[in-house]
Every structure is written in structure tokens, then in C-alpha cells.
């Protein structure tokens, strides 16, 4: 099982420490976290937030098959990513802190 170092995960997305294809899948996870934590109230934002939340929690129509695949392609343990998201250990502030330095 691959351990998830959240700070290192987002830092690696900035400095490109992984192969490009792995970076792509890490960015997919980052975007889902951004979508689920977006404060917008428009119908589009609410819909994107709901879809991202279902994808990260594994409650969408496809279960968690796509989420698991994306995590594996990103080199991350899907259960660890999901657990940390559900516990509130992954959020927009964490992403922004890492991007800001």
C-alpha cells in the first residue's frame, strides 16, 4: 500500500517531481478537491461540487471504480486519499498553502 503524504503530494504537483502522466492524474485529484471545496452558489458550482464530492467519497453512479483508477495512476493509495478527504485532512486551504510556498 502506498502512503499518502498530503503536503508532499501537492508540493510534487507544483515542482513536477513525477512523470508527466502521473502528474496528470494527480492534477485530476487536486481539481476534484478544488471543486468540492468551491464556495460558489450558482447551479453550475453546486452541481460540480456534488459530482466531485460523490467521486471522492465513492457514492456516485459508478461507485469508486474511476476514483481508484485515477489514484492508482497517480501513484496514490485510493483508500488513504478517501479517508483523509472524509476526515477533512485534505481541503482547498492545504492546496493553496502549498501553491503559495
* The predicted structure's pLDDT at residue 61: 77
The kind and range of the H/E element at 30 are: helix 20-36
- Model confidence at 96, pLDDT cuts 50, 70, 90, reads low
CA 24, distance to chain mean position in Å, is 12
Report the pLDDT averaged over residues 77-84. Answer: 92
- Model confidence at 16, pLDDT cuts 50, 70, 90, reads low
Amino acid at each position: 500500500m502506498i502512503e499518502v503524504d498530503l503536503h508532499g503530494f501537492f508540493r510534487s504537483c507544483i515542482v513536477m517531481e513525477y512523470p508527466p502522466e502521473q502528474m496528470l492524474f494527480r492534477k485530476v485529484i487536486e481539481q476534484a478537491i478544488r471543486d468540492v471545496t468551491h464556495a460558489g452558489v450558482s447551479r453550475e458550482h453546486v452541481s460540480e461540487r456534488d459530482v466531485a464530492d460523490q467521486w471522492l467519497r465513492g457514492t456516485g453512479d459508478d461507485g469508486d471504480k474511476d476514483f481508484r483508477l485515477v489514484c492508482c495512476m497517480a501513484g496514490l493509495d485510493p483508500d488513504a486519499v478517501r479517508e483523509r478527504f472524509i476526515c477533512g485532512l485534505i481541503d482547498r486551504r492545504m492546496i493553496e498553502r502549498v501553491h503559495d510556498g
